[in-house]
Structure 1
């Protein structure tokens, strides 16, 4: 992975900061301003949660976002990255341009929470009607960023620089684009393509993500690698159909598939340098055959590749094609492998991360924790963080006092978010904006 090109003010940070100051900008209006929008954030979240939309179909959500931003006299651009919304707020004082990002899309999951505002919605995904639920908390991300936008807009006379609000579609994938369709950009890549970070030019970007199984009101961060990369694969095997009683008269793609599945695991266990990090190759679907006594002609399997190191990712992606082709040939079958790059490793810029820890402490006093290791999911926030220094943090979503190990995980039909955590999320966004200018300049 190439290092991002550093913005001029960020270069000043590198040269002037040294060890980050333990002091942070804390204005006396922040707590009261956040409290004043808390109920609105809750109401917005419940509305969005009850009316979820799949990736690239966030039409109603985008309209709500645009209306809320315009009500705060924030400049708005719509249809960015297809259904994305960009808001631009110019502070009264000179300073840098920073971006805050929230994702808006929901998942094809049938909700089972029994919340009074639970989703009953359906959507169309690749031509099929599916249930839809905000099972990953994107409804909360959108509502919290709208709350932060209102707070910042009401105090623009005290803001240094410009804030760009990125409300992004399709972080979980697009409902109108097959995951193996490689000629269409979606999500963060589509937002970047459409200039979301260019007018004005963003020099640093921040985001947070709610996480079940972590206590409400707590913030978690890590410098460097924080989330895995994500790549998808599809393998289509072609053999020769024959009767199940006489396998020698054909070529069995099902037997071939087990050879390929076993061999792919050796890419991790035997052919990458595990001192650099980790890798996982998982097969998620296998489809073949029509009857118990017929060996089929074709088989298709799909899966995912996750790593926390760019070199390991590149090594797996380079070594998988000849391995799959060679094993298929050894079994007398043919293989077509398609690899799709979904997201690079998400990397929090180390200097930016350490410089912003005091701001996190202001957002969640005594409740900020450094993660010991990166987490296994992936995020297309990584594309923004390749363009400019980025910081991606996690916000606890489960009430303190509960057994964290029993909280339904993100993407579960039982996934819930404690509304008491929203104020911390709003405050974190606000503190990012208030504290970045002095960090960027290397002085208070």
Structure 2
């Protein structure tokens, strides 16, 4: 965005301090009313209302619940600012007065508690504030501002859903895409990084097949519980023995589900796992090792048929452009003390933000 008319060493543009009380109310409201992925109807409505009030052209329902706001301000670059809106199926135990008590139905039909445990309530609030400030100060810049409130980051589906719904065909294609994420650390610090900043992630479901029997006759069974337990233990050796100490990978088994009664051996077991990597070669090796181990453990147990390995979701690496990162960090340095600006290392968290830059 062209900011040649601004004084970068001056105070933040617009009436930021006047906006803060309203933004705080918005934050606590969104935090108290979290919504699961692709269910962000209320949050999207709040975002759309704020954009309209600030003078933006607003389109709703992009990628199901996404919102796009355009502020055209003469000739110049198009800058896209993005905030994700969805929350997680987590029960809140913070004890804050505005804590979530929301329950919702997940895609599997289960009733689950819902909480903004990943900071997306803050992200929405930030973008509402930024769009308001930039609308107030449009006399200091030229170009097009494109505000995107994205659904379903937590399921790696939202960014691609908006792209598939014509985000970059129905609206101007941005020259740069800017996003942010609240992280654990001292308040008031700002960090960035050129190159890879968040990991690639792959989530898999593994269905292991056995033969059920009564618990008193284990010899008649092919026990999928033992098969699954052996598989889980063996999967831990991938990072410990197959990934170089100079490389990085995480293999986490987050669910092992089998059977319903203590004296009945079930006929199948489900293992769900998540993989994080920072290099495509490492990623391919880890995924190949998982397939090898799962099939080998099933064969060693005499499974009646091979296991089913089903991808659940995938996040690509997020790689920051060197030029855009340098400009963003330099802008931060104009407004924040030097000790508050730092370069961060790659995070093992994952984001679908990178999908916007892949188009």
Query: TM-score, normalization: structure 2?
Result: 0.90
2:205 matched to 1:234?
yes
**1:146 alignment counterpart:** 128
Deviation readout 1:347-366 (Å, 9 max, x if unpaired): 22233222332112124232
Q: Output the CA distance in 1 between the equivalents of 2:212 and 2:104.
A: 38
Higher relative contact order (CA 8 A, sep 6+): 1
**1:114 alignment counterpart:** 95
**Runs of 4 or more above 6 Å deviation:** none
Deviation readout 1:13-68 (Å, 9 max, x if unpaired): xxxxxxxxxxx961746355322322221121122122222211111111111111
**1:299 alignment counterpart:** 269
Q: Output the CA distance in 1 between the equivalents of 2:79 and 2:14.
A: 23
1:271 to 233, 242, 251: 242
**1:181 alignment counterpart:** none
Count of residue pairs brought into register by the alignment: 350
1:356 to 313, 328, 332: 328
**1:158 alignment counterpart:** 140
Q: Output the CA distance in 2 between the equivalents of 1:363 and 1:88.
A: 26
Q: Output the CA distance in 2 between the equivalents of 1:219 and 1:243.
A: 59
Say if 1:34 and 1:48 are closer, same or farther in 2 by CA, change over 3 A: same
1:119 partner SS? coil
**2:342 alignment counterpart:** 369
2:87 partner SS? coil
1:328 to 288, 293, 298: 298
Shift of the alpha carbon at 1:236?
0.9
Q: Output the CA distance in 1 between the equivalents of 2:325 and 2:7.
A: 16
Q: Is the 8 A contact 2:30 2:121 kept in 1?
A: yes
Unaligned runs of 5+ in 2: none
Q: Output the CA distance in 2 between the equivalents of 1:38 and 1:129.
A: 35
Unaligned runs of 5+ in 1: 1-8, 10-23, 174-184, 388-444
Q: Is the 8 A contact 1:348 1:385 kept in 2?
A: no
**Superposition CA RMSD, Å:** 2.2
2:100 matched to 1:98?
no
Q: Output the CA distance in 2 between the equivalents of 1:117 and 1:107.
A: 16
1:379 partner SS? coil
Say if 1:25 and 1:318 are closer, same or farther in 2 by CA, change over 3 A: farther
**1:73 alignment counterpart:** 55
**2:255 alignment counterpart:** 285
